[in-house]
Amino acid sequence: MLCTIYRSSKKAETYLFVNNRGDFSSVPDALMSVFGTPTLVTVINLAQKDKLALADINLVREKLEDQGYYLQLPPPQENLLDQHKADMKKN
């Protein structure tokens, strides 16, 4: 299963996986307007992969089959102040 990965021009660390290179027909217009101009990152064969760096490969495969795309959002930002406060309570 080949898929093409694009990086968002508007949202940092946001990636869009689609089944066919340049085919965004299955992606909702509202999502495309927020995503911005897609920048090609790579084409990968998911059949030859066991895992992906920041996404659950089984979920990616499922979404590509069901809806024709998968949107990878950036990981949540760590709140260092809250973490520091929690560490201070422990001590």
Is the pTM here over 0.85, yes or no?
A: no
pLDDT beyond 90 at 80: no
Picking from 75, 90, 77, the residue whose alpha carbon sits closest to that of residue 14 is 75
Our CA dihedral for 76, 10, 34, 56, rounded to 10 degrees, sits at -40
Domain ranges of the chain: 2-90
pLDDT tens profile 32-75: 999 999 999 999 999 888 888 888 899 999 999 999 999 999 88
Task: Write down the residue that tokens 């689609």 correspond to.
Answer: 18
- Mean pLDDT confidence for 10-15: 94
Question: Which CATH entry fits the domain spanning 2-90: 3.30.1390.10, 3.90.1010.10, 3.10.510.20, 3.30.1370.140?
Answer: 3.10.510.20
Q: Please report the pLDDT score of residue 91 as a whole number.
A: 67
**Cα distance between residue 67 and residue 65, in whole Å:** 6
